[in-house]
Chain A
Amino acid sequence: MHMADALISPVVGGAMWAATAGVAAYSIKKVQSDIDQKKVPLMGVMGAFIFAAQMINFSVPGTGSSGHLGGGLILAILLGPYAGFLTMASILTIQALFFADGGLLALGANIFNLGFFTCFLAYPLIYKKIIGREFSAKRKMTASMVSAIVGLQLGAFGVVLETVLSGKTELPFRAFVLLMQPIHLAIGIVEGLVTAAVVSFVWKARPEIMEKAALNQALGNLSIKKVMIGLAVMAVFAGAVLSWFASSHPDGLEWSIFKTSGREELESTDPAHKKMAAVQEETAFLPDYGFKVSGDESPTKGQSEKWPAVSAGTTVSGLVGGSMTLLLAAFMGFVINMKNRTGKKT
């Protein structure tokens, strides 16, 4: 479920970074005030535990295939939502840096999708409500299953929403949702079953661990409202500020197009493209930049000299220049390598 950098636009990525930073800052404050220093090494080692557990494959009953754990819910159950979220964030950071799961820009979105929904929505609003005061086997099972499934569905929905908002692909919202949600339903069921199995085992072997964790989060339900408000403010602020920065460039471009062609914007004829352009205007980083008119010749002579010109001449130049650039990059790498080698010998 990790999003890749290629599927996210800078505005969406930035907004998700801001939202994640907001939740993380709030969690850090809570962890520092609520919990003793002892919890920090525990969080660290738990992070490593989930990291290792994610690599263990569990057979998916009845299918002959296998899947692995996400871990957000287990972390919330054992450490509480705040420490759980921070632990999830550190796991995803390490995965992004060392295993290329997601990227630097998409990291904010990934932490949000996998950490926020499980720790701050599924855990306090579903798991804790179902568990109530008695830890019966049935309740642990139901609570783990329902909250794991809901948490993962929300996360998958977040991925869809962020990808579509980024306008990086042509994926229609409906088709993408219909693809993502069922896949993650299966994963959610496995996640729920594993979580329930681990929770019941730990409850049987060392009940005091779970009791302690449950007591630590006495405030969990009250503060969710604050998190939500802070989060909304952060996201709106980030969206507003970032898009303000983002829009300055196209304005300049529009201005120059206006100067040269006497028109504010390149107009496309295709109605489907008009609709898409309207969506893009709101979401893409540089909406009018490199916008292509598909299927037909460039509308007017004056405009064809502008950026998105698609004509045989520019394409040939582009291909030649592109291969030159690649050769140049390869040559540079080769020269530095040679220099390194001779440097080593002397």
Chain B
Amino acid sequence: MPNLVNATYNIRRFDELARQDSFIHRLHPLAKLLATLIYTVVLVSYDKYATIALMPFLIFPVFMAAAGRIPAGPILKRLLYIEPMIICVGLLNPLFDRSTTGILGYSVSSGWLILISIVIKGSLAVTSALILMATTGMDGIALSLRKLKVPKIFVLQLMLTYRYITVLLEEAARIIQAYSLRAFDPKGLKREVWGPLLGQILLRTLDQAQRVYGAMCLRGFNGEYNTGKNTSPGFGDYLFVAGWGAFIAASRAVNLPLWLGNILIGSVK
């Protein structure tokens, strides 16, 4: 997790990206969610040695990002934060799996193949999820969750948590900055202040919750959180899911790069 100010900035950045207008943004959130879910499930269903067969899966995030006008910068930056964790687990494979696989007449360590496969899968899954958020936004996700018949109380809880994250992050950031300006040791909070400092933030949070609830009641809150426009998916949305579903299924059934390579190599011969 990055630091407090960064986190606030990141969430705001995603909010801004989600408020753009493009063909991808205008799609129904549920369609985007379903397409991304199908994509992720099929992607991870590949064998642990799969590498080249995964290449066509790059097309989906590239298309979504380009058509949705999502700049690569913020997405790749998030990817960089998470990559070390994926690599850490993957890096154990070359240590534990010392068997080899023959490729091109050379023997290649299968542990390294697994590592490469894990990194590709992890990066693609993370990227597609981030692009989903950058094109859909939290309101869109909440809307599609309601369409999927997720109970109101959970969607409400999700929305409220999201709404107040930036508020509390800013408050926590102020407190932590005040602390670090007065304390010499920047390496984390000293033990003596764990309780008072975090507890203080907690008590403020609880008071905030009271005020929030009061304000909500005064505005006529009755257990329903308005999640924006309540549209139904249209023909284009069905087409979008069906199209990507078909493409993903085709990539899974046929090794596209291999097929393409065979054609090319064949024509050269």
Interface residues of A (CB under 8 A from B): 2, 4-10, 13-14, 24-25, 28, 31-32, 37-38, 40-49, 51-61, 64-69, 78, 86-87, 89-91, 93-94, 96-101, 103-105, 163, 167-172, 175-176, 179, 193-194, 196-198, 200-202, 205-206, 209, 270, 272, 284-286, 289-292, 294-297, 307, 310, 312-322, 324-326, 328-330, 332-334, 336-337, 340
- Interface of B: prevailing SS: helix
Determine if B198 and A194 form an interchain contact, defined as CB atoms under 8 angstroms apart. Answer: yes
The chain B residue sitting closest to A286, CB to CB, is B45
Determine the chain A residues whose CB is within 8 A of the CB of B208 once the complex forms. 45
Determine the chain B residues whose CB is within 8 A of the CB of A42 once the complex forms. 206, 209, 213
> How far apart are A57's CB and chain B's nearest CB, in angstroms?
4
Additional A-B contacts beyond A6-B122, A56-B4, A295-B99 (16; CB < 8 A): A5-B40, A40-B160, A41-B160, A44-B156, A45-B206, A52-B165, A98-B10, A103-B129, A167-B48, A171-B89, A318-B255, A320-B260, A326-B55, A329-B59, A333-B62, A340-B22
Indicate whether B231 reaches chain A with its CB closer than 8 angstroms: no
Determine if B52 and A319 form an interchain contact, defined as CB atoms under 8 angstroms apart. Answer: yes
Determine the chain B residues whose CB is within 8 A of the CB of A52 once the complex forms. 4, 165, 168-169, 171-172, 201
Q: Given that A53-B172, A105-B40 are contacting pairs, would A90 and B265 also be in contact in the complex, using a CB cutoff of 8 Å?
A: no
> How far apart are B159's CB and chain A's nearest CB, in angstroms?
7
Determine if A170 and B111 form an interchain contact, defined as CB atoms under 8 angstroms apart. Answer: yes
Which positions 84-105 of chain B face chain A at CB distance < 8 Å?
A: 85-86, 89-90, 92-93, 96-97, 99-105
* CA A185 to CA B87, docked complex, whole Å: 22
Indicate whether B245 reaches chain A with its CB closer than 8 angstroms: no
* CA A5 to CA B37, docked complex, whole Å: 11
The chain B residue sitting closest to A335, CB to CB, is B66
Determine the chain B residues whose CB is within 8 A of the CB of A8 once the complex forms. 44
The chain A residue sitting closest to B216, CB to CB, is A41
Determine if B62 and A48 form an interchain contact, defined as CB atoms under 8 angstroms apart. Answer: no
Cβ-neighbour of A100 out of B130, B199, B216 (below 8 A): B130
Determine the chain A residues whose CB is within 8 A of the CB of B36 once the complex forms. 104
Determine the chain B residues whose CB is within 8 A of the CB of A87 once the complex forms. 157, 161
> How far apart are A247's CB and chain B's nearest CB, in angstroms?
13
* CA A328 to CA B10, docked complex, whole Å: 31
Determine if A64 and B10 form an interchain contact, defined as CB atoms under 8 angstroms apart. Answer: no
> How far apart are A22's CB and chain B's nearest CB, in angstroms?
13
Determine if B3 and A198 form an interchain contact, defined as CB atoms under 8 angstroms apart. Answer: no
Determine if A58 and B96 form an interchain contact, defined as CB atoms under 8 angstroms apart. Answer: no
The chain B residue sitting closest to A97, CB to CB, is B133
Determine if A321 and B261 form an interchain contact, defined as CB atoms under 8 angstroms apart. Answer: yes
Lowest 4 CB-CB distances: which A-B pairs, in order? A44-B160, A321-B261, A66-B188, A197-B195
Determine if A59 and B188 form an interchain contact, defined as CB atoms under 8 angstroms apart. Answer: yes
Q: Given that A7-B118, A65-B187, A100-B126 are contacting pairs, would A325 and B256 also be in contact in the complex, using a CB cutoff of 8 Å?
A: yes
B174-199 contact mask (Cβ, 8 Å, vs A): 1 or 0: 00100000000101111100111011
Which positions 61-86 of chain B face chain A at CB distance < 8 Å?
A: 62-63, 65-67, 69, 78-79, 81-82, 85-86
Cβ-neighbour of A333 out of B66, B132, B159 (below 8 A): B66
Determine the chain A residues whose CB is within 8 A of the CB of B4 once the complex forms. 52, 55-56
Indicate whether B238 reaches chain A with its CB closer than 8 angstroms: no
The chain A residue sitting closest to B90, CB to CB, is A169
* CA A194 to CA B199, docked complex, whole Å: 10
Determine the chain B residues whose CB is within 8 A of the CB of A94 once the complex forms. 138, 158, 161-162, 165
- Give the most central of A10, A46, A105, A170: most B CB within 10 Å: A170
Determine the chain B residues whose CB is within 8 A of the CB of A91 once the complex forms. 161
Determine if B195 and A90 form an interchain contact, defined as CB atoms under 8 angstroms apart. Answer: no
Determine the chain A residues whose CB is within 8 A of the CB of B47 once the complex forms. 284, 286, 289-292
Indicate whether B125 reaches chain A with its CB closer than 8 angstroms: yes
The chain B residue sitting closest to A179, CB to CB, is B92
- Give the most central of A5, A291, A292: most B CB within 10 Å: A5
* CA A273 to CA B63, docked complex, whole Å: 39
The chain B residue sitting closest to A66, CB to CB, is B188
The chain B residue sitting closest to A331, CB to CB, is B62
Determine if A66 and B82 form an interchain contact, defined as CB atoms under 8 angstroms apart. Answer: no
* CA A224 to CA B202, docked complex, whole Å: 28
> How far apart are B215's CB and chain A's nearest CB, in angstroms?
9
Determine the chain A residues whose CB is within 8 A of the CB of B114 once the complex forms. 168-170
Q: Given that A42-B209, A99-B78 are contacting pairs, would A170 and B93 also be in contact in the complex, using a CB cutoff of 8 Å?
A: yes
> How far apart are B85's CB and chain A's nearest CB, in angstroms?
7
* CA A41 to CA B206, docked complex, whole Å: 10
> How far apart are B242's CB and chain A's nearest CB, in angstroms?
19
- Give the most central of B66, B79, B201: most A CB within 10 Å: B66
Determine if A53 and B201 form an interchain contact, defined as CB atoms under 8 angstroms apart. Answer: yes
> How far apart are B252's CB and chain A's nearest CB, in angstroms?
9
* CA A20 to CA B98, docked complex, whole Å: 36
Cβ-neighbour of B202 out of A51, A96, A202, A272 (below 8 A): A202
B19-59 contact mask (Cβ, 8 Å, vs A): 1 or 0: 00010000000000000110011011111111111011011
* CA A200 to CA B194, docked complex, whole Å: 11
